[in-house]
Amino acid sequence: MQNEEAMREAVSKKIYSYIGLAQKAGKAAAGEFLTEKAIQERKAELILVSEEASANTKKKFIDSATYYSVPVYLFGGKDELGHAMGKEFRASLAITDTGLATAIMKQLAFLEHEDQRRR
């Protein structure tokens, strides 16, 4: 059990580091306005919405991502997402680079698989 928790922590850290890389490379858009803009301009390859975001914010981005066929995941806290980007808290962000989006989704899939195994 403790080993699983350590594994989840390591995978989460990897996701946050990918988010940081995307930010440094100019391949991330953070905050509601910029995330929505990236989706509408079809630049978003992946949308991450904080698990702490309001129900309205979650619905807005899930609906928008579904309409524009962009993968969307609920992940992390607002502080953690913001910190990964070198900013204050963020409830949403878009990754605009295909390679980074794919790398993050692989890690998210691992976390989801672990969640499924526990049930």
* The predicted structure's pLDDT at residue 97: 98
pLDDT tier for residue 116 given thresholds of 50, 70 and 90: low
CA distance 82 to 63: 23
pLDDT score, position 111: 85
* pLDDT of residue 118 exceeding 60: no
Residue 80 has pLDDT above 70, yes or no: yes
Residue 19: CA count within 13 A, CB half-sphere: 28
Give the mean pLDDT of 41-60.
Answer: 96
- pTM tops 0.75, yes or no: yes
